[in-house]
Structure 1
Amino acid sequence: MKKFKILCLVFFTAIILAAVINLNTGFLSLHLQDFFQESANSQIAEIRINRVLAMLLAGISIPTSGFLMQEYFQNPLAGPDILGITSVASLSVAFYIFFSYQIPLPEFLQNSLLSLSAIIGGLLLMLVLISMSKRFQDKSYLIIFGFLVSAFAGAIVSLLQFYAENQSLKNYILWSFGANNMVTGNQIIVLSILIFIGLFICFKTIKPLIGNSLGSSYAQSLGVNLQQLKLLVIACSSLLSASVTAFLGPVLFIGIIVPHFCRLIYNPAKLWQQWILNMGLGMLIMLIFSIVAEKTLIPLNVISSVFGIPVILMMLLKENKT
């Protein structure tokens, strides 16, 4: 318990420090009054505040989604990317961008519909996963199904890109890079509400997951409704990952690597503590990625992929040795 408190304090301090550095990272140097008073740079300060808030929300939601899936499937490689949630959300955005480029719409409405399309895509896949979960008794089959859906969605997106107009193709590529600077205050509010709902569902699943980790028979003897648990995990993971994908683009691999790192740092028997550590480390990593993205002008999605792929490869090699 003492180590857990120390880790929480370290994460909290590091998050505050990373947030302050993030607010001071950009082309212009801002002063403290720019964040609290009307000035020539107030709009830039607002953009940076929204950027930090978006990274904090993404750092909470994506690792939570991956944490739930890994604990339920008992598989360290399970995550929203593996089940195809991120891919289908991206496919929905691709359909919207490629088929609406000739429709004249105000910019705020275009951004809203783009985000809404990603959320709808993620939720539709959630309904499909829930339906298929009733057919698959073996949990691993659901992961295989998600992988096939992800591959199929990727193939459709590639086909759309092949026939797309230049401007719509450019818009989709810019969205897929993860534009954390483009999130507005209203979008932050909507994203916060969606993530709050997802976290509430997650809160309901933690106690049943503790029983599930001890085996299906033991969980049923404790009164755990395994079918309801499966539905809650899928619904929560889909909502959390789809909402972030809607506003920030497909931020890949974070849902897999953050829970893995947390188990390496501290692996308590209490899932509550593990969940809190996942959110803390997730917020810290997303803030660091945001700083790197601003300093190097490399898209957020590229940074997360460059960081995540070697980590996942090491995880596979470790599992193979075990």
Structure 2
Amino acid sequence: MSKKFKILCSLLIIAIILSAIINMNTGFLSLELQDFFYSSPNSQIADIRINRVLVMLLAGISIPTSGFLMQEYFQNPLAGPDILGITSVASLSVSFYILFSHDIQIPEFLQNSFLSLSAIIGSLLLMMVLLSISNKFQDKSYLIIFGFLVSALAGAIVSLLQLYAENQSLKNYILWSFGANNMVTRNQILVLIVLVLIGSFISFKTIKPLIGNSLGNSYAQSLGVNLHHLKLLIIIASSLLSASITAFLGPILFIGIIVPHFCRLIYNPAKLWQQWILNMMLGMLIMLLFSIAAEKSHIPLNVISSIFGIPVILVMLLKQNKV
């Protein structure tokens, strides 16, 4: 492990800790240290802020990792977590739940859980479809085309549902799509931790084969890399990581494209193990900063990530075209 990498990691850890502290002290009320550790009138607000920080850390791990896997596998710096259509299907599942559950009597404390569960179920169903048809797609580009078609179809159905939705149902769906990081409960965070751990473990198993894959299919096979097995692991890991965050926070996936790009700029892009670690650290830092900006400006998290992400992606496109 090089000295430069150790320095980068140390600086990012310090920045993450400082951002987390600032995040927990950002809001309508100023909290005291005792509010976070002892029972007080503001303990409930302190718990909400702790949950907000935890879910931002998990999102910072999941989304950049998913984007990193997609970009390395497809060898495309503009590939993102939604490239396989997972995010679009999660949004479609949530829209079905929100727009058709208003006549069903569901306790209020269970509504967010069922909303998240519907997104996860929809994403897992698409993941199983991807796994079942992946054998028929020998060329990686066909998976991208399939994902694009799924996204287009899901977007069309969501638009149709919105056209006939009741006002309150439509409002609920729009609020979910904005990315509500203050609405995630402690129990939901525990579920999210399990999903992120599983996705991260599978991601860990893909790094070594990805190093061989980056040298070309023929060379990778000569090194003993099972390309079909790698494709399945990439689909499962990326689907779990992106679907879990989409389910609980809404579609805030722009950082899945921009964080891996930043990491390649600040450190050797050929060293995938270090790149993966940097992606998670920088992702956590950026998500915490987005959360602070969202609380300060009262602008939805998804809007802030888009405002930040779109110019960066545009610069990347212009840079590629220039080369």
The answer, yes or no, to whether TM exceeds 0.5 is yes
Q: CA deviation at 1:133?
A: 2.1
CA–CA distance in structure 1, aligned partners of residues 109 and 136 of structure 2? 42
Cα distance per residue 1:14-64 (max 9 Å; x no partner): 000100000000000000000000000000000000000000000000000
Q: Which amino acid in structure 1 is aligned with residue 58 of structure 2?
A: L
Q: Which residue in 1 is equivalent to 2:15?
A: 14
Q: Which amino acid in structure 2 is aligned with residue 153 of structure 1?
A: A
1:236 has 2:253 as partner: no
CA–CA distance in structure 1, aligned partners of residues 315 and 67 of structure 2? 18
Q: Which residue in 2 is equivalent to 1:192?
A: 193
> Equivalent residue of 2:133, what SS?
helix
Q: Which residue in 2 is equivalent to 1:70?
A: 71
Q: Which residue in 1 is equivalent to 2:314?
A: 313
Q: Which residue in 2 is equivalent to 1:171?
A: 172
Q: Which residue in 2 is equivalent to 1:261?
A: 262
Q: Which residue in 1 is equivalent to 2:4?
A: 3
Answer yes or no: is the 8 Å Cα contact 1:81–1:253 preserved in 2.
no
Answer yes or no: is the 8 Å Cα contact 1:132–1:142 preserved in 2.
no
Q: Which residue in 2 is equivalent to 1:147?
A: 148
> Equivalent residue of 1:134, what SS?
helix
CA–CA distance in structure 2, aligned partners of residues 302 and 144 of structure 1? 27
Q: Which residue in 2 is equivalent to 1:211?
A: 212
CA–CA distance in structure 2, aligned partners of residues 164 and 223 of structure 1? 53
Answer yes or no: is the 8 Å Cα contact 1:66–1:255 preserved in 2.
yes
Please list, as runs of the form range in 1=range in 2, the aligned pairs for 1:1-322 lying within 5 A after superposition: 1-322=2-323
Cα distance per residue 1:66-96 (max 9 Å; x no partner): 0011111111111112221111101100001
Q: CA deviation at 1:195?
A: 0.3
Cα distance per residue 1:232-284 (max 9 Å; x no partner): 00000000000011111111311111101110111243211000000000000
Answer yes or no: is the 8 Å Cα contact 2:88–2:154 preserved in 1.
yes
Q: Which amino acid in structure 1 is aligned with residue 266 of structure 2?
A: I
Which deviates more, 28-37 or 126-135? 126-135
> Equivalent residue of 2:82, what SS?
coil
Which deviates more, 114-123 or 22-31? 114-123
Q: Which amino acid in structure 1 is aligned with residue 60 of structure 2?
A: G
Cα distance per residue 1:103-136 (max 9 Å; x no partner): 1111222111111111111111112222332222
Q: Which amino acid in structure 2 is aligned with residue 203 of structure 1?
A: F
CA–CA distance in structure 1, aligned partners of residues 244 and 173 of structure 2? 17
Q: Which amino acid in structure 2 is aligned with residue 64 of structure 1?
A: T
> Equivalent residue of 1:317, what SS?
helix
CA–CA distance in structure 2, aligned partners of residues 7 and 236 of structure 1? 26
Answer yes or no: is the 8 Å Cα contact 2:80–2:253 preserved in 1.
no
Answer yes or no: is the 8 Å Cα contact 1:78–1:143 preserved in 2.
no
Which structure 2 segments of 5+ residues have no match? none
Which structure 1 segments of 5+ residues have no match? none
Answer yes or no: is the 8 Å Cα contact 2:84–2:147 preserved in 1.
yes
RMSD: 0.9
Answer yes or no: is the 8 Å Cα contact 2:254–2:305 preserved in 1.
yes
CA–CA distance in structure 2, aligned partners of residues 239 and 168 of structure 1? 27
CA–CA distance in structure 1, aligned partners of residues 226 and 8 of structure 2? 33
Q: Which amino acid in structure 2 is aligned with residue 200 of structure 1?
A: F
User: Identity, % of aligned pairs?
Assistant: 83
| TM-score calculated relative to the size of structure 1 | 0.98
Q: Which amino acid in structure 1 is aligned with residue 121 of structure 2?
A: I
